[in-house]
Amino acid sequence: METTKFAVLGFGGAGRAHAQRLQAMKGAEVKVIYDPKMPALGQAIRNYPDIHFTDKLDNVFLGEVDAVSICTPDHTHFEYAKLAVQNKLHTLVEKPMFVTQKQCVEMEKILEDNKVVFGVHHQMRYIPTFRGAYELVRKGMLGEILTIEADYIHDMRHRSFAFDDWRIDRENPQNIVLGGLSHAIDLMRWIVGEDVEETFSFAGQKGWREYPDIDTVIALMRFKSGTLGKGTMTISSAGPQRNTLAIYGTHGQIHNNIFRDADGAISFIRKPDLSFKQNIFIKFITPFLKQSPSILRDYPFSIYEHDSACQELLLDFVSAIRTGDQFPIGFDEGSKTVQLCLRVIEAYKNH
Locate CATH 3.40.50.720 in the chain.
4-122+312-327
**pLDDT for the residue 297:** 67
Locate CATH 3.30.360.10 in the chain.
125-305+338-350
> What CATH number belongs to 4-122+312-327?
3.40.50.720
Query: Could you please report the per-residue DSSP string of 71-126?
Result: -S-GGGHHHHHHHHHHTT-EEEEESSS-S-HHHHHHHHHHHHHS---EEEE-GGGG
Average pLDDT score over residue span 35-51: 83
pLDDT band at 271 (very low <50, low <70, confident <90, very high): confident
When comparing pLDDT for 310 and 281, which is higher? 310
Is the domain covering 125-305+338-350 a CATH 3.30.2290.10 domain?
A: no
pLDDT band at 42 (very low <50, low <70, confident <90, very high): confident
